[in-house]
Amino acid sequence: MSAVSRRAVLGASLAVATTPVAQPAARAATTVGDGLRIAIIGSGYGGAVAARRLAEAGHRADLIEMGMDWRTAEPINGKVFTSMTQPSARSMWFQDRTELPFATILGVPTSTPIEEGAGALGVEHFDHMKVYVGRGLGGGSLVNGAMAVTPRRSFFEQVLPAVDADEMYATYFPRANAALGVAPPTRTMLDSSWYQFTRVGRDQAQAAGYRTALVPSVYDWNHMAREATGNAPRSALAQEILYGNNHGKQDLTKTYLAAAFATGRITPIVMTEVTELTRTAAGAYELGLRTIDFDGNVVSVRRATYDRVVLAAGSVGTARILHRARAHGTLHGLSPEVGRGWGPNGNLMVARALGLTATGAEQSCMPAMGIDAWDDGPGSVFAEIAPLPLGVETFTSNYLAVTNNPNLGSFGWDSARGALTLDWDEAKAAPGVAAARAVMDRLNSVHHTTYRRDLFEDGKVFADYFSYHPLGGAVLGRATDLSGELTGAPGLFVMDGSLIPGKIGVNPFVTITALAERNMDRLLAAKRFG
Ligand code: FAE
């Protein structure tokens, strides 16, 4: 593509990226307390909760996000985000090819060439694990499946025993669900042709003796119904999900972040990566900040100092900041627990070929139900019935399983490459695979069906090499105190999925949000932000 046509395609993305960004140190810091300067790094669930609650308590803060502010991007042919079938530079974070969870279909690779740019879906590549992440204001909420599930209490108590579960289930889960706009799927949609794949998955599971559960969502079900009848522009019904949704989804920019920005106290600093973190002699934190444009050209490199820093860069992003600082000797005294307790939430993807049982040519991209084979034991599986939205009948039941894998990995730092490492491999994934296999074998045996072997890398039946749900690395009460303040680093807080040790039994964003709500309440009450 020529430079001119590329510019035309990217349109206002370039205009956005070249607009001068707010300079963090240049303005008065706070409106309450003792004038502390506060930075929040990352604008996903943890960062959005921190921003909103700090602002509502009267504090000012800079919200530093390495990805785009897609709210201000110019639509191209009426669309800001791209569908899975028409990817562009806006789809993936600096990759020259798309990289979908379905690596092949009928053995044919799905990856297609794209221009590199600051797109919405990122992949963090480790030796035996690919972690999918959202990039941009709103973090994972931009690209995720919107499934908003509260974990079963007994499992939550196992995973985070030091957290008061009464308080979580009486106050913080309800608060998170309300603020995120969570709602159960409607009968209208469940009964429609768009959810035939769900009804088939449910019926087959129940016939094999499994319970099923409705999966609530932050996708607006009434909007989806209007999409179906042609009364609203299509998004979930038009193969939009992994690269962002143009309509219908209540991502964080429409919920927590909208509330935070409405106060006028939160300054978003986008396209800006925190590259270094140094604890100063005075006990403040100096951040290295690198701002890029949509094409990746460096617009500025600078430093800014804050009295309080909230790390909310996601499990991998927060680990990278902490490990680099520790390796470079700019942050001393952290607990050896930093980097430990990582897991992929036992994520596995698997698909069954159903013979002549049709699952529907048209499928909504938003899942609505799961197989609940969970008893808190090692064989527990929660398998969301996922779409395979190819626009043709595939006779396939597809699942993203969450398992109770006991294994944990840890992050490390490779000084030679200057890169974050993760010790995760096939052997660590194996207990989760065994649990999911038991459920899927039973389904196949009852229904005389088979596994699809043509969808994942290396012909794998169970895709155990990628995760949508990275958790851990700075576990609450181990690397941090019980409110998320890092041991050995006063004034430095963790507020994202890093706090949860490796798994939570369901899709994690409701738990990340509720835990952040709890921690912010505690930190504000303790006047840790002044
Ligand atoms: P996250 O949302 O990842 O936000 C971190 C933010 O920090 C991102 O915006 C980064 O760009 C930014 N960042 C990282 N490093 C830096 C840096 N150095 N400087 C500045 N900014 C930085 O963190 N979960 C569910 O519960 N239900 C689902 O249906 C679901 N589906 C998913 C589907 C996909 C494809 C993906 C990728 C994830 C899905 N998840 C789902 C997981 C969920 O989105 C994820 O757990 C949360 O987004 C994690 O929230 P955090 O606050 O930890």
Taking the centre of ligand 1 as the mean of its atom positions, its distance from the CA of residue 44, in whole angstroms, is: 6
Letter string b/e over residues 484-520, b meaning 16 or more CB atoms within 10 A of that residue's CB: bbbbebebbbbbbbbbbbbbbbbbbbbbbbbbbbbbb
> What's the pLDDT at 20?
37
- φ/ψ of residue 277, rounded to 5: -140, 125
> Is there a contact between 347 and 387 (Cβ–Cβ < 8 Å)?
no
Hey, which of 21, 71, 144 would you mutate to test ligand 1's pocket, going by the most ligand atoms within 8 Å of its Cβ? 144
Nearest residue (by CA) to ligand 1, atom 40, is 144
Counting DSSP H helices and E strands in the chain, the numbers are 13, 21
Kindly state if the Cβ of 496 falls inside 6 Å of ligand 1. Answer: yes
Taking phi over 0 as left and psi of -120 to 50 as alpha, with beta for the rest, 499 belongs to alpha
Cα–Cα distance between 530 and 525 in angstroms, integer? 10
Shortest-distance atom of ligand 1 to CA 47: 52
Query: Which residues, listed in sequence order, are joined to residue 381 by a DSSP beta bridge?
Result: 373, 403
Cα–Cα distance between 443 and 201 in angstroms, integer? 10
Kindly state if the Cβ of 63 falls inside 6 Å of ligand 1. Answer: no
Q: Please, which contacts does 103-107 make with residues 24 or more away whose CB atoms are closer than 8 Å?
A: 103/455, 103/456, 103/457, 104/454, 104/455, 104/456, 104/457, 105/390, 105/454, 105/455, 106/454, 107/454
* Joined tokens for residue 514: 């509720």
Shortest-distance atom of ligand 1 to CA 147: 29
Containing H/E element for 430?
helix 426-447
Shortest-distance atom of ligand 1 to CA 42: 7
Kindly state if the Cβ of 216 falls inside 6 Å of ligand 1. Answer: no
Kindly state if the Cβ of 69 falls inside 6 Å of ligand 1. Answer: no
> Whose CA is closest to 341, among 471, 219, 442, 246?
471
Hey, which of 21, 40, 45 would you mutate to test ligand 1's pocket, going by the most ligand atoms within 8 Å of its Cβ? 45
> What's the pLDDT at 35?
79
Taking the centre of ligand 1 as the mean of its atom positions, its distance from the CA of residue 447, in whole angstroms, is: 37
* Joined tokens for residue 365: 């991209």
DSSP collapsed to 3 states, 190-233: HCCHHHHHHHHHHHHHHHCCCEEEECCECECHHHHHHHHCCCCC
> Whose CA is closest to 124, among 91, 95, 103?
95
Taking the centre of ligand 1 as the mean of its atom positions, its distance from the CA of residue 45, in whole angstroms, is: 7
DSSP collapsed to 3 states, 297-356: CEEEEEEEEECEEEECCHHHHHHHHHHHHHHCCCCCCCCCCCCCCEECCCCEEEEEECCC
> Is there a contact between 198 and 369 (Cβ–Cβ < 8 Å)?
yes
Kindly state if the Cβ of 132 falls inside 6 Å of ligand 1. Answer: yes
Helix (H, G, I), strand (E, B) or coil at 26: helix
> Whose CA is closest to 205, among 453, 444, 464?
444
Sheet holding 272-279, edge to edge: 272-279, 285-292, 298-306
> What's the pLDDT at 106?
85
* Joined tokens for residue 223: 């909007």
Letter string b/e over residues 386-401, b meaning 16 or more CB atoms within 10 A of that residue's CB: bbbbbeeebbbbbbbb
> Whose CA is closest to 403, among 504, 487, 309, 291?
504
> What's the pLDDT at 34?
55
Kindly state if the Cβ of 511 falls inside 6 Å of ligand 1. Answer: no
Strands 130-134, 121-125: pairing is antiparallel
Nearest residue (by CA) to ligand 1, atom 41, is 144
Kindly state if the Cβ of 274 falls inside 6 Å of ligand 1. Answer: yes
Kindly state if the Cβ of 273 falls inside 6 Å of ligand 1. Answer: yes
Side chain identity at 435, as an amino acid letter?
A: A
List of residues 6+ apart from 72 with CB closer than 8 A = 12, 16
> Roughly what angle, to the nearest 10 degrees, separates helices 45-56 and 509-525?
30
DSSP character string of 90-115: TTBBS-SB---SS-EETTEE---B--
Residues lower than pLDDT 70 in the chain: 1-34
